[in-house]
Structure 1
Amino acid sequence: MNPLTGSSSASGPEPAHAASVGFVMPYYDDGSPRRRAALRNTIDSLRAQTDPGWHLYLTDDASPAPGTAAMLADLASTAPGRITVLRAPANRGAGEARNLAIAAAHADGVPLLAYLDADDLAHPERVARVRAAFEADPELDFGYLDIAFIDEDGQAWQEHELLPTLQGISRQQNLPPLRGREHWKAQAVERDCLAIPSAMNLRTALAVAHPFPRTPFCEDVATLFRYLGSGAKIDRIDGATTSYRVPRRGGSASREQSGDLGEFNRLRCVNERAGLEAALQEAVARGAADAEEARSVLCRYLIRIGRTVTADGCPELGRSQLAEARAVDGRTFLEHSTPEERASLGVAASLSAEEGA
């Protein structure tokens, strides 16, 4: 670790070991002014925190752009003593970059973590609200925030303007909050909105126990499944909505890196399922579920992800996920699929017809 310091800070220096909340931020620099400006705005949102008890662990994911180290040192100087800049030995993706930051925060004795991607914005009350929530409930392991969608210029999206998958995430925020334990079921079948990394806050011990996998995409969802499958107690933290950046021009960086939409969604299905299966195994091992319930949850997840990728323009992949769901648990598939979905697989169009066959 090599903390970088500078000359001034609105909230005063805070040694890493004294911080209550460690922000975990992966960063990949391609040298573009747009990407660097977004990072500056993100760090500005930390400098604007009403509670000074924070420290940022920023991992440069082996960026190829010249001048990255100097640029990050300059940014760190805007918050002296509050930013630790790390560099990954190789470009392995956001998950591995987060693991390095988590390990650094753990070594510094920081008890709470707040994930924040390098183009999103933290609410000014985030540190205060996170600290208050975890102090009020010593058993709380994981707290999630609501999100608001903004574009590359910081302007709000209207829900109807978003892609169908993002519209679904937006609507899910109107569902009752998830509070308590064993919510791996709800996350698997209905709650994509919990999986935005910039909305996640948790005890450092939970993050250390369940590191991000070495997968290039959707490692956040896979890891969230494992957090919840461990029996972690969760709650929603109100009053500190994260601004989640979705560009109107250029599209998703993850999709661009994966090659195309089809490959991104294929990797999504593979990586998320791996995380869920690991969570289900842990839940069964703890006695929180039996093998039958685990199969049912996996089946319902496959139905949901099939619908998601179909809405995202990959209908053949969607049908393959439905076929997987049917193979995992035929009865649950019949109970939770639509007649149209069953017909797409050549299955009887109605539950009663299939049962009577």
Structure 2
Amino acid sequence: MASPAPATFVMPHYADSAKAGVYLDQTMQSLYAQTDADWQVVVIDDASPDPRDRERLRKLQDRDPERVFLIEQDANHGQGYCRNVGVRWAHEHGSPFVLFQDADDLAHPRRLEATRQTFVERPEVDFVYSTFSVIDEDGNTVAHSRLTPSLQEILDSHREDPVEGPRVWIRMGVDTGYTTLTSTVAVRTELAVISPFPHVRASEDAHAWFRMSAAGTSVAYLPSVPCQYRVPQDSRGSSDRDRIGADYYRRKAEVDTDGFFEAISISLERRTIEPDEVNGLKDAFFRRLALTMEKEGQESLAQEILGMIDYLGVR
């Protein structure tokens, strides 16, 4: 009898800085340091512009062809698109679950071990996430006070009352806001396949978390295996935020709203919420989203979001 396929780390890659190769090497080292060695990684290069970066990836694959697999995109599509490509690859190769891993973040050595144990011991769980610390371009820890309000918001929710259990999408939408970073999340492959990331370049992960929770069964939180999330201090936040610029927050608000509304539709179809709950959920969602935008200094956008409550008649 053939042995089960290994778990799969799904890693989008786009080299857009001089340090991209250094970050990738450190991320790969964190995978090789896993206490559970039953893994493989599929790296999806999103048409990195420098041929030397693609050559670096090919060498990684050549050094460990039984464990490292490379998919090269002909055009740049964004991280969500690449993750979907990786999930489909993992599904085709029989992988029981996927662990999302960005190419500049560092996995905790026990990440895979703890995730596998959770999935085995808690069959009702199909989505696992952990907390994280923030590091700079040199691997130094960034103080909580220097983080953006949105990152502080996530870490505060982890410390005070992390979301777990069924219907987590509701607490995400109306209570905690964005719950966790992509490099902290592992999902049973079947759920990842039916809940792909949207092909957008802002907040595509939050959109997916809403729908995964609505379409899945239960979420587990693992505080003991924190990811190290890299935020270079010569930029204000995520790389998407830097690339999109001034429209980032408006686009995030639109994507988050679409994801939450899709979660409502999924839950109505599955009969895990009742129709008379919908207006209250939308009202609470808009109020929570407006609060997040206000914390980020987007007061005008926050007022627009609150105006949606009257416009949609959800009071």
Q: TM-score, normalised by structure 2?
A: 0.94
DSSP-derived class of the 1:216 partner: coil
Equivalent residue number for residue 237 of structure 1: 222
Equivalent residue number for residue 255 of structure 1: 241
- Whether the aligned pair in 1 keeps the contact of 2:164 and 2:221 (CA below 8 Å) is yes
Of residues 16, 26, 34 in structure 1, which corresponds to 2:19?
A: 34
Q: Output the CA distance in 1 between the equivalents of 2:288 and 2:160.
A: 17
Of residues 72, 75, 87 in structure 1, which corresponds to 2:57?
A: 72
- Whether the aligned pair in 2 keeps the contact of 1:231 and 1:283 (CA below 8 Å) is no
CA deviation string 1:296-343 (max 9, x = no partner): 222212112212122212211111011113434554xxxxxxxxxxxx
DSSP-derived class of the 1:292 partner: helix
1:330 and 1:213, CA in 2 relative to 1: closer, same or farther beyond 3 A? closer
Higher relative contact order (CA closer than 8 Å, sequence separation 6+)? 2
Q: Output the CA distance in 2 between the equivalents of 1:154 and 1:79.
A: 26
Deviation at 1:187, TM superposition (A): 1.0
* CA RMSD in angstroms, aligned pairs only: 1.8
Count of aligned residue pairs for this structure pair: 313
- Whether the aligned pair in 1 keeps the contact of 2:131 and 2:180 (CA below 8 Å) is no
Q: Which amino acid aligns with 1:303?
A: R
Larger radius of gyration: 1
Equivalent residue number for residue 5 of structure 1: none
Deviation at 1:78, TM superposition (A): 4.8
- Whether the aligned pair in 2 keeps the contact of 1:298 and 1:328 (CA below 8 Å) is no
Equivalent residue number for residue 85 of structure 1: 70
Moved more, 85-94 or 191-200: 191-200
Equivalent residue number for residue 218 of structure 1: 203
DSSP-derived class of the 1:241 partner: strand
Q: Output the CA distance in 1 between the equivalents of 2:314 and 2:88.
A: 43
Of residues 267, 287, 309 in structure 2, which corresponds to 1:303?
A: 287
Q: Output the CA distance in 2 between the equivalents of 1:290 and 1:327.
A: 22
Equivalent residue number for residue 86 of structure 2: 101
Q: Any gaps of 5 or more consecutive residues in structure 2?
A: none
Of residues 176, 181, 186 in structure 2, which corresponds to 1:201?
A: 186
Equivalent residue number for residue 272 of structure 1: 256
DSSP-derived class of the 1:157 partner: coil
CA deviation string 1:6-43 (max 9, x = no partner): xxxxxxxxx9x85432101111123x321221111111
Q: Output the CA distance in 2 between the equivalents of 1:22 and 1:152.
A: 26
1:157 and 1:329, CA in 2 relative to 1: closer, same or farther beyond 3 A? farther
Moved more, 189-198 or 274-283: 189-198
Q: Output the CA distance in 2 between the equivalents of 1:330 and 1:36.
A: 49
Matched, 1:132 2:133: no
DSSP-derived class of the 1:178 partner: coil
Matched, 1:153 2:138: yes
DSSP-derived class of the 1:310 partner: helix
After superposition, residues 165-204 of structure 1 pair within 5 angstroms as: 165-192=150-177, 194-204=179-189
- Whether the aligned pair in 2 keeps the contact of 1:265 and 1:309 (CA below 8 Å) is yes
- Whether the aligned pair in 2 keeps the contact of 1:21 and 1:113 (CA below 8 Å) is yes
Deviation at 1:285, TM superposition (A): 1.4
Q: Which amino acid aligns with 2:198?
A: P
Identity across matched positions, percent:
31
- Whether the aligned pair in 1 keeps the contact of 2:48 and 2:54 (CA below 8 Å) is no
- Whether the aligned pair in 2 keeps the contact of 1:302 and 1:325 (CA below 8 Å) is yes
Q: Output the CA distance in 1 between the equivalents of 2:136 and 2:256.
A: 26
